[in-house]
Each structure stands twice: as structure tokens, then as C-alpha cells.
């Protein structure tokens, strides 16, 4: 029994020593681990502080950038609004310009039509004016011819009257002619020409008849010519 008891005691003593060594090793390792943990914790705290500082700096920078972004966004929106308003104004101006150009083109077309109509009217007026001038010249020449014809007719009338008087005188009885001659002598007029110097009555009548016939023929030709001119002028005016 004593040997068993001693063996048990030795066993448990060895066991206790072994456990104590393990505990000592555990303590040493625990202390080392604790130091490592403390170092790691200190490093973590330091890292956390640095990260917090960086985070605060980043938050501040973020706020600054956010403010800048908000300002830039507001400025951009304002600029976009201005550009949209300016674009709308330009579109409106462009529409006004297009409308104005169309109105100017329409006015230009109207002016061109008016100009063509004016040129046509001017050409017609010039034609009518030339026709009127020609007609005026024709009427003036016709008036001159009428005046000359009137003078010729008056002269022929005078010659015919003189011829009738002369025929009447020649056909009177001889005593009346003597009385006429005596009265002419009493009044102191020049004596009548001698029968040798007086042309025969028949030749004088024939000469005046030829002159009268030629004058009538000339009047007829001029009247026919005047009628042809008048017809031509009337036809020309009717064409106009």
C-alpha cells in the first residue's frame, strides 16, 4: 500500500509539476500575446485616429466638393436656362427673319409685276403718244391742206364770179355797152383796151375752165388722199 501511495503521490506530483510548467508557459505566452494585443490595439487606435482624421478631412472635402457641385450645378442650370432662352429667342428671330424674307420676296414679286405692268403701260402710252403725235402732225398737215383748199376754192369762186360778170357784160346789147363806156369816160377812168389787145372771150373762157377743172381735180385728189389718211389713222386707232 505504501508503494502504491508513493506511486500515486509521485504521479500527481509529476502531474502538478507538468501542469505548473504548462501554466507557466501559458502565462508567458499569454503575456506575450497580451503585449502583442496591446501593441496591436495601440496600432489599431493609432490607425483609427488617422482614419478618423482622414475621414473628417474627406468629409470636409466632400462637403466642400458638394457645395462646389451644388454651386456649379446651379450655375450650369442657370447657364442652360439662359442658353435655352437665347436659343428660343434665336428660333423666334429666325422665324421672324424667315417671315420677313417671305414678305420681302412677296413684295419683290409684287414690285416686279408692278414694274412689268408699268413698263407695259409705258410702252402702250408711248405707242399711243406716238400715234397721237402722228395724228396731230397728220391733222396739222390736213388743216394746212384745208386752208390751202379753202383759199383755192375762194380764188376759184372769185374767178368764176369774174367770169360770169364778164360773160354777162359781153352778152349785153351794144347800146348798154356804149353807155357803160360813156359813163366810164365821164368818170375819167382809163379807156378800155382796144379790140386788138383784148383776148377773145372763148379763149379766155376755155382757159379759166381748164384752170377750174384742174383745181377741182386737185381738190378731189387731195380730198381722196385725206380720206385715205383718215381711214388709215382710224384703222390704226381701232387696232390699238
pLDDT of res. 27: 87
Instruction: Please give the helix or strand (H or E) that residue 224 lies within, else none.
Output: helix 201-239
Q: What is the DSSP string of the chain?
A: -HHHHHHHHHHHHHHHHHHHHHHHHHHHHHHHHHHHHHHHHHHHHHHHHHHHHHHHHHHHHHHHHHHHHHHHHHHHHHHHHHHHHHHHHHHHHHHHHHHHHHHHHHHHHHHHHHHHHHHHHHHHHHHHHHHHHHHHHHHHHHHHHHHHHHHHHHHHHHHHHHHHHHHHHHTS-HHHHHHHHHHHHHTTPPPPPPTTTSPPHHHHHHHHHHHHHHHHHHHHHHHHHHHHHHHHHHHHHHH-
97-106, 203-212, 217-226, 228-237: which is most confident: 97-106
Of 47 and 238, which is predicted with more confidence?
47
Contact 219, 150 (CB under 8 A): no
Residue 180 — very low, low, confident or very high, per pLDDT cuts 50/70/90? very low
Greatest CA span in the chain, whole angstroms?
A: 244
Of 202 and 195, which is predicted with more confidence?
202
Q: Is 215 exposed, middle or buried (0-12, 13-18, 19+ CB in 10 A)?
A: middle
Q: Residue 178 is placed in which grid cell?
A: 356804149
What value does the mean pLDDT of the chain take?
79
Domain ranges of the chain: 145-188+195-239
pLDDT of res. 186: 42
DSSP code for 160: H
Contact 204, 166 (CB under 8 A): yes
| pTM of full prediction above 0.85 | no
Angle at which helix 2-170 crosses helix 201-239, to 10 degrees, equals 170
pLDDT of res. 55: 94
pLDDT of res. 149: 83
Q: What is the pLDDT of residues 61-94, one digit of tens each?
A: 999 999 999 999 999 999 999 999 999 999 999 9
Amino acid at each position: 500500500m505504501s508503494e502504491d501511495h508513493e506511486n500515486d503521490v509521485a504521479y500527481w506530483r509529476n502531474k502538478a509539476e507538468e501542469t505548473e510548467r504548462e501554466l507557466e508557459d501559458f502565462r508567458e505566452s499569454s503575456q506575450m500575446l497580451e503585449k502583442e494585443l496591446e501593441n496591436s490595439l495601440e496600432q489599431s487606435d493609432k490607425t483609427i485616429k488617422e482614419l478618423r482624421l482622414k475621414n473628417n478631412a474627406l468629409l470636409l472635402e466632400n462637403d466642400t466638393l458638394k457645395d462646389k457641385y451644388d454651386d456649379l450645378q446651379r450655375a450650369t442650370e442657370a447657364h442652360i436656362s439662359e442658353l435655352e432662352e437665347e436659343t428660343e429667342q434665336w428660333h423666334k428671330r429666325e422665324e421672324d427673319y424667315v417671315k420677313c424674307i417671305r414678305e420681302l420676296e412677296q413684295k419683290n414679286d409684287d414690285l416686279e409685276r408692278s414694274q412689268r405692268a408699268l413698263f407695259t403701260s409705258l410702252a402702250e402710252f408711248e405707242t399711243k403718244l406716238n400715234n397721237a403725235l402722228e395724228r396731230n402732225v397728220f391733222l396739222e398737215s390736213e388743216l394746212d391742206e384745208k386752208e390751202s383748199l379753202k383759199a383755192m376754192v375762194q380764188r376759184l369762186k372769185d374767178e368764176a364770179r369774174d367770169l360770169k360778170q364778164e360773160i354777162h357784160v359781153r352778152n349785153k346789147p351794144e347800146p348798154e355797152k356804149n353807155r357803160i363806156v360813156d359813163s366810164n369816160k365821164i368818170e375819167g377812168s382809163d379807156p378800155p383796151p382796144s379790140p386788138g389787145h383784148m383776148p377773145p372771150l372763148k379763149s379766155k373762157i376755155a382757159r379759166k375752165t381748164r384752170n377750174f377743172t384742174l383745181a377741182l381735180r386737185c381738190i378731189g385728189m387731195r380730198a381722196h388722199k385725206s380720206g385715205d389718211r383718215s381711214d388709215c389713222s382710224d384703222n390704226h386707232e381701232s387696232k390699238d
